[in-house]
Amino acid sequence: MTQENLALVTGANGHLGYNLAKLLISKGIPVRASVRTLKSGSALNSLDCEIVQADITDKASLIKAMQGVKILYAVGAAFKLWAKDPKKEIYDVNLQGTKNMIEAAAQAGVQRIVYVSSIAALNYAVLPAKESYGHNPDRRDMYYNSKNDGEQLAFELAKKHHIELVAVLPSAMIGAESTDNLSVSYNIIRLILKKEIPVETNITLNWIDVKDVAQGCYLAATRGKTGERYILANEKCTSIKETTKIAQELFPELQIKLPVSVPRFLLYGVAWLMEMGSKISGKAPLLTTKDIAMFSGLQQDFDISKARTELEFNPKDPATAVREAMLYLMEHKNDEFQFH
């Protein structure tokens, strides 16, 4: 295997990073996988790839990791919706990380970048949302702000340094294989199976199989047009209630009940109490008042015709993705996903 088309995947021990590295290897592409600490990359030991240490907040480590790399898959980022200091722990990390990755790529002679943005960077004013509607004007959430500003910064810097860059915007990724801790999105499926979402929040998710997103990243690298952004999602979103119904059908023995509707003021009260508890424990709350304000009632529907046409992106439907994700979690419930 020659190294002439060497690909670097940052954040390779994460949900998308791991599945993307595995996909590229299956296509005969030599992969260098970067992780923040080599200890956290143990899941990658089963893959035929080079594992290196690099942190998006440390430009020198990125320059070293990018030596000889032709294509950079910029996956690594802080993916969390809550932190004690959200500007410092989420926004600053992601913006500085984006700047470091593009500048390191320029210095190392990387030719092309697939930048993993998010549906958080889309404008939902008109539904179904599409790439051409611009960026999200809602500035209430630091993670959303980091994806909006980070993507725009990535395009600016890539243009400045004459590097080809394509952005992909995935929705809520679930499915096998998952390594380490579950992502924010995938954890919702676990909470449903554990019967820990008793109350209807009117929050919807646009479920997408992580393997389809990995395929979309590869297609963006090979077919995507430089300077363009592509939504990697399904057309229709799914409510928590609809997702719970799939769990009921799959596992009747669990006797999972549908979430109960409560008045909105009560929902805010519950969320406020959870936030107060989180300030003491330091652990992310299950629900925040901001979640309700931003996402309750929001229909996350997308026009993915651009990705379908230009990339030939063809994801499995959300119900199938949810079923497969639930089966995978139940199969592994006694080990890494802490069901008990």
Confidence of residue 28 (pLDDT cuts 50, 70, 90): very high
Does a structural domain hold residue 277?
no
pLDDT above 80: residue 317: yes
Question: In the prediction, which pLDDT does 178 show?
Answer: 84
Q: Are strands 172-174 and 207-209 parallel, antiparallel or unpaired?
A: parallel
Confidence of residue 2 (pLDDT cuts 50, 70, 90): very low
Domain count, the chain: 1
Confidence of residue 340 (pLDDT cuts 50, 70, 90): very low
Q: Of the spans 2-6, 165-169, 276-280, which averages the highest pLDDT?
A: 165-169
Segments forming the whole domain that contains residue 88: 7-184+207-236+301-325
Does a structural domain hold residue 169?
yes
Question: In the prediction, which pLDDT does 43 show?
Answer: 82
Does a structural domain hold residue 155?
yes
Question: In the prediction, which pLDDT does 187 show?
Answer: 92
Does a structural domain hold residue 96?
yes
Span 251-278, average pLDDT: 94
Q: What percent of the chain has pLDDT above 90?
A: 86
Question: In the prediction, which pLDDT does 37 show?
Answer: 87
Site of tokens 């092309």: 112
pLDDT above 90: residue 268: yes
Confidence of residue 41 (pLDDT cuts 50, 70, 90): low
Confidence of residue 39 (pLDDT cuts 50, 70, 90): confident
Question: In the prediction, which pLDDT does 332 show?
Answer: 87
Does a structural domain hold residue 152?
yes
The predicted-structure confidence for 49-66, as pLDDT tens digits, reads as follows 999 999 999 999 999 999
pLDDT above 60: residue 94: yes
| Residue at 241: amino acid letter | K
Distance CA 162, CA 169 (A): 22
| CATH code of the domain containing 75 | 3.40.50.720
Question: In the prediction, which pLDDT does 181 show?
Answer: 76
Q: What percent of the chain has pLDDT above 70?
A: 96
The predicted-structure confidence for 152-173, as pLDDT tens digits, reads as follows 999 999 999 999 999 999 999 9
The total of other beta-carbon atoms located within 10 Å of residue 125's CB is: 11
Does a structural domain hold residue 126?
yes
Question: In the prediction, which pLDDT does 337 show?
Answer: 52
Question: In the prediction, which pLDDT does 182 show?
Answer: 85
Give φ, ψ of 174 to 5 degrees: -140, 170
The predicted-structure confidence for 100-139, as pLDDT tens digits, reads as follows 999 999 999 999 999 999 999 999 999 999 999 999 999 9
Does a structural domain hold residue 263?
no
Q: Are strands 7-9 and 71-74 parallel, antiparallel or unpaired?
A: parallel
pLDDT above 50: residue 231: yes
Span 244-267, average pLDDT: 95
The predicted-structure confidence for 69-82, as pLDDT tens digits, reads as follows 999 999 999 888 88
Average pLDDT over the chain, rounded to an integer: 94
Does a structural domain hold residue 221?
yes
Q: What is the 3-state secondary structure (H, E, C) of the chain?
A: CCCCCCEEECCCCCHHHHHHHHHHHHCCCCEEEEECCHHHHHHHHHCCCEEEECCCCCHHHHHHHCCCCCEEEECCCCCCCCCCCHHHHHHHHHHHHHHHHHHHHHHHCCCEEEEECCHHHCCCCCCCECHHHCCCCCCCCHHHHHHHHHHHHHHHHHHHCCCEEEEEEECEEECCCCCCCCCHHHHHHHHHHCCCCCECCCEEECEEEHHHHHHHHHHHHHHCCCCCEEEECCCCCEEHHHHHHHHHHHCHHHCCCCCECCCHHHHHHHHHHHHHHHHHHCCCCCCCHHHHHHHECCCCCECCHHHHHHHCCCCCCHHHHHHHHHHHHHHCCCCCCCCC
